[in-house]
Amino acid sequence: MSRLIVVSNRVNPPNPAEGGEGSVGGLAMALAAALREYSGIWFGWSGKTIPEFTGQLNMQRIDGVTVATVDLEETDYQEYYNGYANKTLWPLFHYRVDLTAYDRSFGEGYDRVNKRFAETLLPLIEPDDIVWVHDYHLIPLARELRRMGVTNRIGFFLHIPWPAHQLVVTLPRHRQLVEALFDYDLLGFQTEESLHAFEGYVFSEVHGSKNERGELQAFGRKLDASAFPIGVDAQDFAQIVKGETARKTYDRMMAHSVFRKMIVGVDRLDYSKGLEERLIGFERFLHDHPDLVRETMLLQIAPISRDEVEAYQDLRGRLDGLIGRINGAYAEMDSTPIRYVNRSYRRDELAGIYRAAKAALVTPLRDGMNLVAKEYVAAQDPEDPGVLILSRFAGAARQMKDALIINPNSPEEISDALERALSMGVDERKRRWEALFENVTREDVTAWRDNFVSALRARPDPVNDDREEASTPVQTLGVAAKKLRDQPEAKAMRA
């Protein structure tokens, strides 16, 4: 059986020395399981910077997964990661044109790092391998690999939304970015909405078409594109919540919220997550229901991210001020309506927190999927489940129709949904939870992974007439990989 090579910006397999399964998300667990099954490799950036790029591969085996990482130089980090990925593509793809920064050096760094990734990855690829590239950081990677002669099947999955055509065209060199996607054999999107937005660009901007097989045709090439909604490992999460760490966390949260109903929000500190809108909606709830002020509390967990980016620094300052205002207005000497935490928690700790919460507020302004919503459902007590309040702009809303679906831009809708959730009878809560849990279990992360890999494996051998003749015969890739595996450090790793 051919191997699977997973490529992502960062590599995050479960490491028993760092807490194992309880310390990583379900996506990392699913990819690690696939790599063990297919004897594959997980390749990406190490997270470290060095004075000058060397292309030196660092290979190790972690819990049965072969990991290959490379260090980036500081200029690469600033232009590729902080620049084009997080100041240009991330805000644009989340419909925040007002925050999108266009700088030529960012684009140059983005292309340079993708080329360096391709050059470093090349010796690892064997003729029968399939390559699965993840997310917006690495859109041009297949283009670079094709230029180096790689003819293997290569798939790409976008974890964030694909924006509307009218937004994409605001990006300088948008045509080159989309053209690079046609060097993949299969594109995966979170939702049909993102798929249709991508097709809309192809049809309107470059006059592409769809053939009788359903393939998109443009730039003289063709590819498959489909929606593959990502899930969580619901059954595993339901077991984690019964573990010792989750139980202790649950007990602590129940003791802390005694005589009060806890509402939970868990998000990376990001402007796409609707944190300001959520807090304003909660403030409206406190104003509308003064009799419930002492009976409710909001726990907002928001780990800080991308703190070097000015938009995130500004957001953090606004949140601090908003929370201070709300707590100042509604706190009593023995109670505070909002508990705000800027740190990360392990997966098993989050399971206990979710289970203790009577409601979850998941209010992104734009989100590819949002796995917090699915984890919250998976962690609930079947006999006394909490209520999920979910933004209509999260990809998960397309699947999780039995949540309370709200417009996060409306404080009134958030307030009304909170009142309804906290007063909802157990029969309705159970009925809604059962439907949600059935969906979360059926369309879990393993189904997502297997559906994508199966679709990529089923693709015929590349037949695009305009794809350049392999400048490096693919057979030499296997030779190069063998030389790499025969290096002393690689032999020691396998031993």
Which residues on adjacent β-strands are paired with residue 299?
Answer: 264, 339
Label residue 98 exposed, middle or buried (CB < 10 Å: 0-12, 13-18, 19+): exposed
Q: Which one is catalytic: 348, 367, 402, 444?
A: 367
Q: Amino acid identity of 200?
A: G
Task: Choose among 73, 77, 104, 108: nearest CA to 9.
Answer: 77
Q: Which one is catalytic: 94, 134, 137, 159?
A: 159
Distance from C-alpha of 203 to C-alpha of 423, rounded to nearest angstrom: 48
Q: Is the C-alpha dihedral spanning 263, 267, 270, 273 positive or negative?
A: negative
Distance from C-alpha of 187 to C-alpha of 338, rounded to nearest angstrom: 41
DSSP string, 324-386: HHHHHHH-BTTB-SEEEE-S---HHHHHHHHHH-SEEEE--SSBS--HHHHHHHHTS-TTS--
Q: 438: Cβ–Cβ under 8 A, 6 or more apart, which residues?
A: none
Q: Amino acid identity of 138?
A: L
Distance from C-alpha of 37 to C-alpha of 132, rounded to nearest angstrom: 15
Q: Is 406 strand, coil or helix?
A: strand
β-strands 359-362, 130-134: how paired? unpaired
Task: Choose among 433, 350, 349, 334: nearest CA to 385.
Answer: 433
Distance from C-alpha of 274 to C-alpha of 365, rounded to nearest angstrom: 5
Distance from C-alpha of 276 to C-alpha of 279, rounded to nearest angstrom: 5
Reduce the secondary structure of 160-225 to three states and give it as a string.
CCCCCHHHHCCCCCHHHHHHHHCCCCEEEECCHHHHHHHHHHHHHHCCCEECCCCCEEECCEEEEE
Q: Is 159 a catalytic residue?
A: yes
Which residues on adjacent β-strands are paired with residue 341?
Answer: 301
Query: Rounded to a whole number, what is the distance in angstroms from the first to the last CA of the chain?
Result: 22
Question: What is the distance of C-alpha 258 from the center of its chain?
Answer: 34
DSSP 308: T
Q: Is 367 a catalytic residue?
A: yes
At residue 416, φ and ψ (nearest 5 deg) are -65, -40
Catalytic positions are: 159, 367
